[in-house]
Amino acid sequence: MTIKKYKKVIVAMSGGVDSSISAWMLKKQKYKVEGLFMKNWEEDDEKGYCNSTQDLYDARNVCKKLNIYLHTINFSTEYWEQVFENFLYEHKQGNTPNPDILCNKKIKFNLFFNYALKELEADYIATGHYARIKKINRRYVLLKGIDLNKDQSYFLYTLTEVKLKKILFPIGNLIKTQVRSIAKKINLKVAEKKDSTGICFIGPKKIKKFLSLYITEKKGNIITTDGKVIGEHNGIFYYTLGQRKGLGIGGIKDKYNIPWYVIEKNLKKNTLTVAQGSFNKSLMSIGLIAKNIHWINNQVSFPISCMVKTRYRQKDIMSNIECINNKYIKIIFDQPVRAVTPGQSVVFYLSEKCIGGGIIKSRLPLL
Protein backbone atom coordinates (compact mmCIF):
# COMPACT_ATOMS: atom_id res chain seq x y z
CA MET A 1 0.00 0.00 0.00
CA THR A 2 1.28 3.49 -0.84
CA ILE A 3 2.64 5.27 2.21
CA LYS A 4 1.10 8.67 2.85
CA LYS A 5 3.47 10.54 5.13
CA TYR A 6 2.40 12.59 8.12
CA LYS A 7 -1.06 11.06 8.25
CA LYS A 8 -2.42 10.28 11.71
CA VAL A 9 -2.75 6.62 12.66
CA ILE A 10 -4.31 5.14 15.80
CA VAL A 11 -2.76 1.75 16.58
CA ALA A 12 -4.75 -0.80 18.59
CA MET A 13 -2.18 -1.50 21.31
CA SER A 14 -2.75 -4.86 23.00
CA GLY A 15 0.41 -4.98 25.06
CA GLY A 16 1.81 -7.68 22.79
CA VAL A 17 4.80 -7.72 20.46
CA ASP A 18 2.78 -7.58 17.21
CA SER A 19 0.95 -4.32 17.90
CA SER A 20 4.12 -2.86 19.43
CA ILE A 21 6.19 -3.45 16.30
CA SER A 22 3.28 -2.22 14.17
CA ALA A 23 3.46 1.12 16.00
CA TRP A 24 7.24 1.24 15.67
CA MET A 25 7.10 0.56 11.92
CA LEU A 26 4.52 3.28 11.35
CA LYS A 27 6.64 5.80 13.24
CA LYS A 28 9.59 4.91 11.03
CA GLN A 29 7.38 5.52 8.00
CA LYS A 30 6.71 9.07 9.26
CA TYR A 31 3.11 8.61 10.26
CA LYS A 32 1.83 10.57 13.24
CA VAL A 33 1.25 7.61 15.56
CA GLU A 34 -0.88 7.31 18.68
CA GLY A 35 -1.97 4.16 20.49
CA LEU A 36 -5.29 3.06 21.92
CA PHE A 37 -5.75 0.31 24.47
CA MET A 38 -9.18 -1.33 24.57
CA LYS A 39 -10.46 -2.99 27.73
CA ASN A 40 -13.05 -5.51 26.58
CA TRP A 41 -13.61 -7.61 29.69
CA GLU A 42 -14.12 -6.77 33.37
CA GLU A 43 -11.62 -9.12 34.91
CA ASP A 44 -12.64 -8.25 38.46
CA ASP A 45 -15.72 -10.33 37.74
CA GLU A 46 -14.92 -13.62 39.44
CA LYS A 47 -16.55 -15.49 36.59
CA GLY A 48 -14.22 -14.13 33.96
CA TYR A 49 -10.55 -13.99 33.13
CA CYS A 50 -8.55 -11.53 31.13
CA ASN A 51 -5.09 -10.28 31.93
CA SER A 52 -5.82 -6.70 30.84
CA THR A 53 -4.02 -5.14 33.81
CA GLN A 54 -0.70 -6.63 32.72
CA ASP A 55 -1.45 -5.91 29.07
CA LEU A 56 -2.19 -2.24 29.80
CA TYR A 57 1.04 -2.01 31.80
CA ASP A 58 2.99 -3.46 28.88
CA ALA A 59 1.24 -1.19 26.36
CA ARG A 60 2.10 1.87 28.43
CA ASN A 61 5.74 0.84 28.65
CA VAL A 62 5.95 0.31 24.91
CA CYS A 63 4.30 3.65 24.13
CA LYS A 64 6.65 5.40 26.54
CA LYS A 65 9.62 3.73 24.86
CA LEU A 66 8.37 4.69 21.39
CA ASN A 67 7.37 8.17 22.56
CA ILE A 68 3.74 7.90 21.44
CA TYR A 69 0.60 8.89 23.32
CA LEU A 70 -1.63 6.07 24.57
CA HIS A 71 -5.40 6.51 24.78
CA THR A 72 -7.49 4.04 26.76
CA ILE A 73 -11.14 3.12 26.37
CA ASN A 74 -13.49 0.60 28.00
CA PHE A 75 -15.67 -1.41 25.63
CA SER A 76 -16.57 -4.07 28.22
CA THR A 77 -20.31 -3.39 28.12
CA GLU A 78 -20.38 -3.41 24.32
CA TYR A 79 -18.29 -6.57 24.21
CA TRP A 80 -20.68 -8.30 26.61
CA GLU A 81 -23.76 -7.29 24.64
CA GLN A 82 -22.42 -7.71 21.10
CA VAL A 83 -19.97 -10.61 21.44
CA PHE A 84 -20.29 -12.53 24.70
CA GLU A 85 -24.07 -12.88 24.74
CA ASN A 86 -23.90 -14.31 21.21
CA PHE A 87 -21.14 -16.68 22.39
CA LEU A 88 -23.42 -18.04 25.12
CA TYR A 89 -26.50 -18.19 22.88
CA GLU A 90 -24.69 -20.21 20.21
CA HIS A 91 -23.36 -22.67 22.78
CA LYS A 92 -26.89 -23.15 24.12
CA GLN A 93 -27.96 -24.02 20.56
CA GLY A 94 -25.31 -26.74 20.45
CA ASN A 95 -22.99 -24.78 18.16
CA THR A 96 -19.33 -23.83 18.60
CA PRO A 97 -18.99 -20.08 17.90
CA ASN A 98 -15.82 -18.11 17.20
CA PRO A 99 -15.95 -14.94 19.35
CA ASP A 100 -12.67 -13.62 17.91
CA ILE A 101 -14.29 -13.12 14.50
CA LEU A 102 -17.31 -11.39 16.03
CA CYS A 103 -15.01 -9.24 18.18
CA ASN A 104 -13.20 -8.08 15.04
CA LYS A 105 -16.50 -7.28 13.35
CA LYS A 106 -18.26 -5.55 16.25
CA ILE A 107 -15.47 -4.13 18.41
CA LYS A 108 -12.12 -3.64 16.67
CA PHE A 109 -13.31 -2.75 13.19
CA ASN A 110 -16.52 -1.01 14.19
CA LEU A 111 -16.42 0.65 17.62
CA PHE A 112 -12.65 1.18 17.70
CA PHE A 113 -12.58 2.04 13.98
CA ASN A 114 -15.28 4.71 14.35
CA TYR A 115 -13.90 6.08 17.61
CA ALA A 116 -10.41 6.49 16.14
CA LEU A 117 -11.55 8.13 12.91
CA LYS A 118 -14.32 10.32 14.33
CA GLU A 119 -13.39 11.13 17.92
CA LEU A 120 -9.60 11.04 17.60
CA GLU A 121 -9.64 12.40 14.04
CA ALA A 122 -7.32 9.73 12.66
CA ASP A 123 -6.71 9.13 8.97
CA TYR A 124 -6.16 5.41 9.53
CA ILE A 125 -6.30 2.72 12.17
CA ALA A 126 -3.72 -0.05 12.45
CA THR A 127 -3.59 -3.42 14.18
CA GLY A 128 -1.00 -6.15 14.63
CA HIS A 129 -2.77 -8.69 12.42
CA TYR A 130 -0.80 -10.95 10.10
CA ALA A 131 -2.66 -9.97 6.94
CA ARG A 132 -2.16 -7.55 4.05
CA ILE A 133 -4.21 -4.96 2.21
CA LYS A 134 -3.38 -4.18 -1.38
CA LYS A 135 -4.85 -1.89 -4.03
CA ILE A 136 -5.40 -3.89 -7.22
CA ASN A 137 -7.17 -2.36 -10.22
CA ARG A 138 -8.41 0.48 -8.01
CA ARG A 139 -9.95 -1.98 -5.55
CA TYR A 140 -8.74 -2.58 -1.99
CA VAL A 141 -8.40 -6.31 -1.33
CA LEU A 142 -7.52 -8.41 1.71
CA LEU A 143 -4.60 -10.80 1.29
CA LYS A 144 -3.12 -13.51 3.46
CA GLY A 145 -0.15 -12.58 5.61
CA ILE A 146 3.28 -13.54 4.28
CA ASP A 147 3.78 -15.79 7.32
CA LEU A 148 1.28 -18.51 6.41
CA ASN A 149 1.70 -20.12 9.83
CA LYS A 150 0.44 -16.91 11.46
CA ASP A 151 -1.89 -15.65 8.70
CA GLN A 152 -4.99 -14.13 10.34
CA SER A 153 -7.09 -13.29 7.29
CA TYR A 154 -9.46 -16.07 8.44
CA PHE A 155 -10.53 -13.80 11.33
CA LEU A 156 -10.94 -10.74 9.09
CA TYR A 157 -13.38 -11.88 6.42
CA THR A 158 -16.15 -9.61 7.75
CA LEU A 159 -14.25 -6.47 6.68
CA THR A 160 -15.59 -4.29 3.89
CA GLU A 161 -13.67 -2.61 1.09
CA VAL A 162 -14.72 0.80 2.43
CA LYS A 163 -12.99 -0.01 5.72
CA LEU A 164 -9.94 -1.60 4.09
CA LYS A 165 -9.12 1.87 2.70
CA LYS A 166 -8.68 3.13 6.26
CA ILE A 167 -6.85 0.15 7.79
CA LEU A 168 -3.13 -0.63 7.94
CA PHE A 169 -1.58 -4.01 8.79
CA PRO A 170 2.12 -3.05 9.16
CA ILE A 171 3.48 -6.53 9.98
CA GLY A 172 1.58 -8.38 7.24
CA ASN A 173 4.75 -8.60 5.14
CA LEU A 174 6.83 -10.02 8.01
CA ILE A 175 7.13 -13.42 9.62
CA LYS A 176 6.82 -13.80 13.38
CA THR A 177 10.53 -14.39 13.98
CA GLN A 178 11.30 -11.08 12.23
CA VAL A 179 8.83 -9.26 14.46
CA ARG A 180 10.40 -10.66 17.62
CA SER A 181 13.89 -9.93 16.27
CA ILE A 182 13.01 -6.27 15.70
CA ALA A 183 11.56 -6.03 19.21
CA LYS A 184 14.79 -7.40 20.67
CA LYS A 185 16.93 -4.97 18.66
CA ILE A 186 15.00 -1.96 19.92
CA ASN A 187 14.95 -3.38 23.46
CA LEU A 188 11.22 -3.79 23.94
CA LYS A 189 10.40 -5.80 27.06
CA VAL A 190 7.56 -7.53 25.21
CA ALA A 191 9.98 -9.08 22.68
CA GLU A 192 9.59 -12.52 24.24
CA LYS A 193 6.05 -12.10 25.58
CA LYS A 194 3.94 -15.14 24.78
CA ASP A 195 1.21 -14.80 22.18
CA SER A 196 -2.29 -14.69 23.58
CA THR A 197 -4.07 -17.95 22.88
CA GLY A 198 -7.66 -19.04 23.15
CA ILE A 199 -10.45 -16.69 24.15
CA CYS A 200 -9.58 -13.62 26.22
CA PHE A 201 -12.31 -14.01 28.82
CA ILE A 202 -11.54 -17.69 29.40
CA GLY A 203 -7.76 -17.48 29.46
CA PRO A 204 -6.04 -20.52 30.96
CA LYS A 205 -9.29 -21.87 32.43
CA LYS A 206 -10.89 -24.86 30.81
CA ILE A 207 -13.89 -23.88 28.73
CA LYS A 208 -16.05 -26.55 30.42
CA LYS A 209 -15.55 -24.95 33.81
CA PHE A 210 -16.13 -21.48 32.38
CA LEU A 211 -19.35 -22.34 30.53
CA SER A 212 -20.80 -24.04 33.62
CA LEU A 213 -20.84 -20.62 35.28
CA TYR A 214 -23.31 -19.34 32.70
CA ILE A 215 -25.19 -22.35 31.33
CA THR A 216 -27.12 -24.85 33.46
CA GLU A 217 -25.75 -28.36 33.15
CA LYS A 218 -28.08 -30.98 31.74
CA LYS A 219 -26.84 -34.55 31.85
CA GLY A 220 -27.53 -36.88 28.94
CA ASN A 221 -26.37 -40.05 27.23
CA ILE A 222 -23.23 -40.57 25.18
CA ILE A 223 -24.15 -43.03 22.45
CA THR A 224 -22.48 -44.89 19.58
CA THR A 225 -23.64 -44.63 15.96
CA ASP A 226 -25.82 -47.71 16.49
CA GLY A 227 -27.53 -46.15 19.52
CA LYS A 228 -25.73 -48.00 22.31
CA VAL A 229 -25.32 -45.96 25.50
CA ILE A 230 -21.66 -46.01 26.59
CA GLY A 231 -21.43 -43.02 28.90
CA GLU A 232 -22.92 -39.83 30.29
CA HIS A 233 -22.23 -36.17 29.50
CA ASN A 234 -22.92 -33.13 31.70
CA GLY A 235 -24.17 -30.92 28.87
CA ILE A 236 -23.68 -31.11 25.12
CA PHE A 237 -22.69 -27.44 24.98
CA TYR A 238 -19.37 -28.46 26.58
CA TYR A 239 -18.33 -30.41 23.49
CA THR A 240 -17.41 -29.70 19.89
CA LEU A 241 -17.36 -31.95 16.84
CA GLY A 242 -14.09 -33.84 16.57
CA GLN A 243 -13.38 -33.51 20.30
CA ARG A 244 -11.50 -36.39 21.87
CA LYS A 245 -10.53 -35.30 25.38
CA GLY A 246 -12.90 -35.07 28.31
CA LEU A 247 -15.39 -37.71 27.17
CA GLY A 248 -14.66 -40.08 30.04
CA ILE A 249 -15.15 -43.21 27.93
CA GLY A 250 -11.80 -44.95 27.83
CA GLY A 251 -11.68 -48.72 27.65
CA ILE A 252 -15.05 -50.31 26.85
CA LYS A 253 -15.75 -54.02 26.85
CA ASP A 254 -15.82 -55.65 23.41
CA LYS A 255 -14.39 -52.50 21.80
CA TYR A 256 -10.86 -51.96 20.51
CA ASN A 257 -8.95 -49.45 22.58
CA ILE A 258 -9.13 -46.74 19.92
CA PRO A 259 -9.91 -43.10 20.96
CA TRP A 260 -13.52 -41.91 20.72
CA TYR A 261 -14.48 -38.66 19.02
CA VAL A 262 -17.64 -36.56 19.07
CA ILE A 263 -19.39 -36.83 15.70
CA GLU A 264 -22.84 -35.40 16.47
CA LYS A 265 -24.70 -33.33 19.07
CA ASN A 266 -28.47 -33.78 19.22
CA LEU A 267 -30.00 -30.86 21.10
CA LYS A 268 -33.56 -32.23 21.15
CA LYS A 269 -32.61 -35.68 22.44
CA ASN A 270 -29.73 -34.26 24.52
CA THR A 271 -27.39 -36.96 23.24
CA LEU A 272 -23.77 -36.92 22.23
CA THR A 273 -22.88 -39.39 19.49
CA VAL A 274 -19.31 -40.69 19.32
CA ALA A 275 -17.28 -42.92 17.04
CA GLN A 276 -13.78 -44.40 17.16
CA GLY A 277 -10.83 -43.16 15.14
CA SER A 278 -9.77 -39.62 14.25
CA PHE A 279 -10.70 -40.15 10.59
CA ASN A 280 -13.81 -42.21 11.15
CA LYS A 281 -16.19 -41.85 8.20
CA SER A 282 -18.83 -40.47 10.55
CA LEU A 283 -16.55 -37.53 11.31
CA MET A 284 -16.02 -36.65 7.66
CA SER A 285 -18.11 -34.23 5.57
CA ILE A 286 -18.42 -33.80 1.82
CA GLY A 287 -19.56 -30.22 2.24
CA LEU A 288 -21.61 -27.80 4.30
CA ILE A 289 -24.43 -25.29 4.31
CA ALA A 290 -23.41 -21.74 5.31
CA LYS A 291 -25.39 -18.68 6.38
CA ASN A 292 -24.67 -14.99 7.15
CA ILE A 293 -22.58 -14.76 3.99
CA HIS A 294 -20.34 -11.72 3.59
CA TRP A 295 -18.32 -10.72 0.52
CA ILE A 296 -15.49 -8.24 1.04
CA ASN A 297 -15.56 -6.62 -2.40
CA ASN A 298 -18.40 -7.75 -4.64
CA GLN A 299 -21.26 -10.17 -4.57
CA VAL A 300 -19.93 -13.10 -6.62
CA SER A 301 -21.68 -14.90 -9.45
CA PHE A 302 -22.64 -18.48 -8.65
CA PRO A 303 -21.54 -21.18 -9.04
CA ILE A 304 -17.97 -20.40 -8.03
CA SER A 305 -14.90 -22.56 -7.46
CA CYS A 306 -12.46 -21.39 -4.81
CA MET A 307 -10.43 -22.49 -1.83
CA VAL A 308 -12.02 -22.55 1.63
CA LYS A 309 -11.02 -22.96 5.26
CA THR A 310 -13.46 -24.33 7.83
CA ARG A 311 -11.12 -23.53 10.71
CA TYR A 312 -8.05 -21.41 11.45
CA ARG A 313 -4.69 -22.66 10.11
CA GLN A 314 -6.40 -25.36 8.11
CA LYS A 315 -4.94 -26.26 4.74
CA ASP A 316 -6.96 -24.67 1.93
CA ILE A 317 -9.65 -26.95 0.50
CA MET A 318 -10.67 -26.72 -3.16
CA SER A 319 -14.46 -26.39 -3.24
CA ASN A 320 -17.45 -25.55 -5.38
CA ILE A 321 -20.04 -23.08 -4.06
CA GLU A 322 -23.60 -22.71 -5.23
CA CYS A 323 -26.43 -20.48 -4.06
CA ILE A 324 -29.43 -22.11 -2.37
CA ASN A 325 -31.39 -18.89 -1.74
CA ASN A 326 -30.72 -15.38 -0.44
CA LYS A 327 -29.84 -16.77 3.00
CA TYR A 328 -27.84 -19.94 2.40
CA ILE A 329 -25.12 -21.32 0.16
CA LYS A 330 -23.96 -24.89 -0.35
CA ILE A 331 -20.27 -25.75 -0.42
CA ILE A 332 -19.05 -29.08 -1.79
CA PHE A 333 -15.43 -30.06 -1.07
CA ASP A 334 -13.20 -31.73 -3.64
CA GLN A 335 -12.38 -34.31 -0.95
CA PRO A 336 -13.94 -35.13 2.45
CA VAL A 337 -13.03 -32.84 5.36
CA ARG A 338 -12.78 -33.77 9.02
CA ALA A 339 -14.73 -32.18 11.87
CA VAL A 340 -16.72 -29.50 10.08
CA THR A 341 -18.31 -27.66 13.00
CA PRO A 342 -21.58 -25.67 13.00
CA GLY A 343 -21.10 -22.21 14.48
CA GLN A 344 -17.55 -21.88 13.18
CA SER A 345 -16.72 -19.80 10.11
CA VAL A 346 -15.99 -20.94 6.59
CA VAL A 347 -13.75 -18.47 4.76
CA PHE A 348 -13.25 -18.21 0.98
CA TYR A 349 -10.03 -17.59 -0.94
CA LEU A 350 -8.93 -17.04 -4.51
CA SER A 351 -5.20 -17.79 -4.28
CA GLU A 352 -3.91 -15.43 -1.55
CA LYS A 353 -6.95 -13.14 -1.73
CA CYS A 354 -9.61 -13.48 0.97
CA ILE A 355 -12.94 -12.79 -0.71
CA GLY A 356 -15.40 -13.41 2.14
CA GLY A 357 -16.95 -16.04 4.36
CA GLY A 358 -19.93 -17.12 6.42
CA ILE A 359 -21.09 -19.14 9.41
CA ILE A 360 -21.38 -22.93 9.13
CA LYS A 361 -25.07 -23.79 9.61
CA SER A 362 -24.78 -27.54 9.09
CA ARG A 363 -22.46 -30.10 7.61
CA LEU A 364 -23.12 -32.55 4.80
CA PRO A 365 -21.96 -35.95 6.19
CA LEU A 366 -19.96 -38.42 4.16
CA LEU A 367 -22.29 -41.18 5.27
User: What average pLDDT does the structure give for the chain?
Assistant: 91
Selected catalytic residue, list 50, 63, 200, 354? 200
Catalytic residue among 103, 306, 323, 354: 103
**Which CATH code is given to the segment(s) 283-365?**
2.40.30.10
**Measured distance CA(15)–CA(53) in Å, rounded:** 10
pTM of the prediction?
A: 0.92
Beta carbons within 8 Å of 24's beta carbon, 6+ residues apart = 66, 182, 186, 188
CA nearest to 286, candidates 327, 241, 329, 319: 319
What does the alpha-carbon distance between residue 203 and residue 210 come to, in Å, rounded to a whole number? 10
Residue range(s) in the chain whose domain bears CATH number 2.40.30.10: 283-365
Is 103 assigned a catalytic role?
yes
Cβ–Cβ < 8 Å for 258, 233: no
Q: What CA–CA distances, in Å, run from 285 to 35, 107, 278, 290?
A: 44, 33, 13, 14
- Which residues participate in the annotated binding site? 12-19, 38, 128
The 3-state DSSP class for residue 303 equals coil
CA–CA gap between residue 107 and residue 78 (Å, rounded):
8
> What residues does CATH 2.30.30.280 cover in the chain?
216-278
pLDDT one-digit tens code per residue, 190-200: 999 888 766 66
pLDDT by residue (tens digit) across 104-145?
A: 999 999 999 999 999 999 999 999 999 999 999 999 999 999
Please give the Cα distance from 129 to 106 (Å, whole number). Answer: 16
Which pLDDT band holds residue 258 (cuts at 50, 70, 90)?
A: confident
Q: 343's torsion region: left (phi>0), alpha (psi -120 to 50) or beta? A: left
Q: What is the pLDDT of residue 252?
A: 61
CATH 3.40.50.620 residue window(s) in the chain: 8-192
CATH of domain 8-192: 3.40.50.620
Identify the three-state secondary structure at position 267.
Answer: coil
Average pLDDT of 326-344? 96
Cα–Cα dist 125/198, whole Å: 24
- At residue 162 the predicted structure's pLDDT band, cuts being 50, 70 and 90, is very high
CATH of segment(s) 216-278: 2.30.30.280
| pLDDT (mean) for 234-262 | 81
Residue 242: which of 220, 274, 208 has the closest Cα? 274
Return the sign of the alpha-carbon dihedral for residues 47, 50, 56, 57.
positive
Measuring CA to CA, which residue among 9, 25, 14, 8 is closest to residue 183?
A: 25
DSSP state of 48: -
* Tens of pLDDT, residues 28-81: 999 999 999 999 887 655 455 567 888 999 999 999 999 999 999 999 999 999
